[in-house]
Structures are given as C-alpha cells and as structure tokens.
Structure 1
Amino acid sequence: MTVRDFTLAPGDFGRFGTGLARPECVWIADDGIWASDARGGVTCLSNTGEGTLLGSGVGTPNGFSRRADGTFLVAGLADGAVYEIRPDGTVSVLLDNIDGVPIGAANYPCVDGDRVWISVMTTSTPWDEALRGPAKGQIILLDHRGARVVADGVHLTNEVKVSPRGDYLYAAESLQRRILRFPIEADGSLGEREVFGPSDLGEGAFPDGFSFDVDGNIWVTIICRNGLYVITADGELHIVYEDVNKPALAALLEAIAEDKANAELMGGCAATGPLVLPTSIAFGGPDGRTAYVGSLATDFLTTFRSPTAGRLR
C-alpha cells in the first residue's frame, strides 16, 4: 500500500504514555520517546509509557529538537524565549532577544548541525495575537554569527524543518493554510519562498507540525480539523483522516475574519474522537512505521501504523 491509498478509521488509533501535560511536540530517540510537557520541560517516555520529566521553569514548553550532545532546545511559548535543557536537567535561556528587541512568540527551534532555525508565530505576545491582524511571523537563524531574522511576514509560523537533503527549510504557515519552503544558501540566508503542495489546504486546514518519510512525502497535522494530511513528494494532497467539529470550526473562522480569534476558540475545535487537536508527528518503532502524534489537549500520545517508514530524527 502507498500513502495515496492509505486512510485511517477511528479504530486504527492507539494511545501511548500517561500523565503528560500538553504534549505539543514529539521527538523519537534511542533513549526514549520525548514530548514537551506543560509542567516546565520535556518528558521521556520509556518503552512501557512511563514518563520522567527533564527540566523545569520553561513557560509552556512547545516545539523542541535536540543537539548531538543530548541537549534539548525548547521554545517557551509563554515566555518568548528559546531554552536549553541539558542532559542533567540544567535549564538556561538560549535566546530571547535580538539586539535588545524581544523575539516574540517562539514556536519551534530546529537544530541543523551548528545552526538553529527558530520559528516565531508573531513578534508580539501572547501567541494568539497571531490569529488577529496582519502577518508578523518570522524565522530566525542562530549560528556562529549570532541571531538574525532571515524571513518575515509569515502568517503564524509553526514548525520549521530542514529537508532530508539539507537544501530547503520547510515551514508550516498556519494562517495561510499551506507549507512553505525556502532554499538554504551557502551563507545561511534563505532564498525566495515558494509553496510546496497546494496553495491552500482547505477551509480551516491550518497546518501545525509535519514530518518527512523515506519516500519524500510530508505528513502534516491539521490542528483545527483534527486531521492528518499527506503532501506527496510530487506535491499532491491526500487526506488520511479528519474529524471536524463543524460548529466550533465555523465559529473560529468567523472570528478570524473579524480579527477576534483567540486560543480558546481554537481549543474549542477539539474532537471527541481519537485524534484531538494534533500538533506534531514523529515516527519510531523497530521499522520506523509507528507514528506518534502530539496534541494540545491529551495526556497521552496518539499512535497509528504507517504504510511507509518515517525519517527518524
């Protein structure tokens, strides 16, 4: 079976882990399955699903990735900062301003060797200001030259990830309902943005997190439609699953049109089914085909079996 033929039904999902708090982001590693945790750090889940919290004091831990030495870089969504959580649990601020100007609502730091790409939902806080008014999202590059803005005017920048070949930086532009990509130049600057896949994923189809598979497809979590989409390697859209709370989504879309949207209206789009406000996807297991999905609203990770292996981080 290829991804073009693959769909999920409610009974195809499972659960992994217990006692998590807002597991917005998922990371698979040899030492366990990691998830962001609203208690102030990141939690490692053992093979049996038991969790151990690492770090403390991060305000609403959101997206994160990991350096080769085991240090986690975590976006503090409520703090407007990116933090380091070292393997011993020590926490410090990596970046919260550029030349004295606060960076805003940091969403996701993507480790790329010695570089870090940081998505910023909006230069203002709280983060849900990004749901109202003009696009003020940015992408920041932090490297040996320091921190600088390399893309701006993105309408609610969500996850950003480097392509498997290292030649493009992909970004979920949530409020424009699309996936962007930027050529990465030799000096670390970004080339002209382009849309990968459909120019519009559909009504209320706000992409949040995404992951590549070994065939070059991109698996995308669609938060407010409680959905999972695939954009194939040649840019075609395939809907794997969705469970739309139609009244709540209509209320959110009306509020966005009137510049009145907020986090509560977004949270109201949660489904009662097995996939609830999905925000992140990562692949693991012995064959790389077990998918783990993060959420804003569950205390566990949602799982399913994929027809193709994901690219393990």
Structure 2
Amino acid sequence: MNETIKISLFANGLDHPECVAVHKDGSVWAGGEAGQIYRIAADGTAWEEVAATGGFILGISFSPGCEWLAVCDSAAKCVWKLDPETFVLELFSKGCNAHQFNIPNYPVFDSQGNLYVSESGAFNEVKGKILKFSTDARAEVWHEGPFRFANGMALDKGERHLYVVCSWLPGVERISIGEDGSAGEREVYCTLPRTVPDGIAFDDEGNLYVTCYTPNAIYKISPNRVCTLLVDDWEAHTLANPTNIAFGGKNMDQLFTANLGRWHINKIDLGIKGLTLVSHQNI
C-alpha cells in the first residue's frame, strides 16, 4: 500500500458491492450481487438495505437534484429507477428500438438530465455501445462503438467529453460531445497495460482516477495524460477487486471505493476535491 494515502473501512457486511454513489445529503449508496441497494449513513455508522431487484447491480448514479437513482442490473438486463425518498423501484428501460441491453453497466447524468448508459456487450467480444436517454423519453444508441467492454464512465468539467472505461483495451477512451448533443470524435485517452480497469472519477483539477478490478490498484491520470500509481494493494485485503468510485464527504475530498471481491466500501482521505457532479450541488 502507498503509506502516504490514508484508506479506512467505511462500511462492512455488504454483498460484494460493485457500485458506489453519493447522495446530496452525504449518504453513500451501493449495490449488491443479489440485487440489493444499500443506503449508508454519511458518517458510515450504519447501513440499510432499502430495495432489491433480485438481479446483479452494476453501476448506479443520481439524477440532477437526486430525484432518482439510475440502477444498472446485468441479470435483469435493464436500468431501474429508484426513488431515494420512498425506495419505490420501477423499470426505467430495457434499451431502445435499435438495441436491447445485454450488459447495462454504468449510468451517467449530464446537467440537462440526459442519461448515458454503457452497454458492455459481451465478455471477450468487442460489442460495447453507449445508449442515451433524453428527459423527454427519447432513447437512442448514442455511439455504436464497438468498445472493448464499455464499463465505468464520467463526464469532464464543462461536459465536453464522455470518458468510457474499456476494460479489455485496457484503458479509457473519450468521445467528444457536439453542441447538439451528438457523439463526435472518439479517441484513446490512456492505456493501462496488464490491468482490467473498471471505474473512473474526476477531481476538480482534471485528474482522472481509474480503479482496476485487477491488479488491486488505483491509477491517477493527469490532464496531460501522465499516469501515476496512487494505490497498490498486492495483499487484496483493503482494495479487493475495486470497481466503481465516487467523491464525497463534507469537503468532497474523500474517495469512496466499492470492492467486488469482498464485503466493504473504503474511504480514502485524498485531500483533493472531486469534480462537482450534477447530483452534488447541495453536499
């Protein structure tokens, strides 16, 4: 482990959580491999299972204002819509006319309330796509790809690009977003040889943090694309197949990591403020 980085156990006893997201009230949300959706108190002292789909929860994301939580379910091959106040769960989408979900992996909202969802495609096949859902219920394949297993995603500051983890590239690609919202130029942003990257998040300075399912590591990619190793846990006890990450905490300078290989969420006191998401305005 990097001794300069302080990592602590935030919540334990979850069912192999792959995803993590932070509500505007500071609570941390996660999902389990049997479809559980967890709400963890902002201080980490307690958690509760608030809903269950019976599937396998991959990525989750809050809409602007946290009116609802988008939940990707690989077993049910759909995106669910969860009300974070009432915990009522309803089906949001199984895809669009041009493509039905096979592995809906990760959702991202923009400031207008449009929802991007990565479609991984299939294991060991290059079939990944990006679907987009507008606020007026229009659904489309936003980018045909094909991507090498499209996984975690993030929008940069200003929403000029959508960044997409391609687990079997392995690395991160980015797609420019046109003024009309259409997909533009696609390029490889960075490669991470001999890794399986999974989740990403930006800090406020434009650094991109990438978690790796294997090895048990987190990388930091600077705005000029210099890659440094932030955390490396060869023992795989603290970081255990880390997947999705999210900034939170009182000052938005703590990084929460899900660990698919175990039962806990970590908290990293990074000391660097995360990029403010559309759901973070009131934290």
TM-score by length of 2: 0.89
- Kindly tell me: are residues 58 and 146 of structure 1, through their superposed partners in 2, closer, same or farther at Cα, counting changes over 3 Å? farther
* Conserved? CA contact 2:18–2:244, under 8 Å: yes
Q: For residue 168 of structure 2, give the secondary structure of its aligned residue in structure 1.
A: helix
* Conserved? CA contact 2:154–2:202, under 8 Å: no
Give the aligned partner of residue 184 of structure 2: 191
| 1:116-151 residue CA offsets vs partner (Å, 9 max, x unmatched) | 1000110xxxxxx42x2x300110011136211122
Counterpart residue identity of residue 96, structure 1:
K
Q: For residue 135 of structure 1, give the secondary structure of its aligned residue in structure 2.
A: strand
Q: CA deviation at 1:101?
A: 4.7
| Greater per-residue helix proportion | 1
Unaligned runs of 5+ in 1: 1-6, 123-128, 245-270
Counterpart residue identity of residue 12, structure 2:
T
Give the aligned partner of residue 138 of structure 1: 129
Bigger radius of gyration, 1 or 2? Answer: 1
In the alignment, structure 1 residue 35 sits paired with structure 2 residue 30 = yes
Give the aligned partner of residue 78 of structure 1: 75
**Identity %, equivalent residues:** 24
Q: 2:159 aligns with which of 163, 166, 173?
A: 166
Q: Superposition RMSD on alpha carbons, in Å?
A: 2.0
Give the aligned partner of residue 297 of structure 1: 261
Task: Give the whole-Å Cα distance in 2 for the aligned partners of 1:116 and 1:10.
Answer: 37
1:108-127 pair list within 5 angstroms: 108-112=106-110, 113-122=112-121
The 4+ residue runs of structure 1 with deviation greater than 3 A are 9-12
* Conserved? CA contact 2:23–2:66, under 8 Å: no
Give the aligned partner of residue 224 of structure 1: 214
| Greater per-residue strand proportion | 2
| 1:78-136 residue CA offsets vs partner (Å, 9 max, x unmatched) | 111011011311111111132285221100111223211000110xxxxxx42x2x300
* Conserved? CA contact 1:74–1:84, under 8 Å: yes
TM-score by length of 1: 0.80
Task: Give the whole-Å Cα distance in 2 for the aligned partners of 1:101 and 1:160.
Answer: 19
Unaligned runs of 5+ in 2: 278-283
Count of residues in Structure 1 that have an aligned counterpart in Structure 2: 270
- Kindly tell me: are residues 11 and 230 of structure 1, through their superposed partners in 2, closer, same or farther at Cα, counting changes over 3 Å? closer
Q: CA deviation at 1:242?
A: 2.1
| 1:248-305 residue CA offsets vs partner (Å, 9 max, x unmatched) | xxxxxxxxxxxxxxxxxxxxxxx53321100011122222222211111222112222
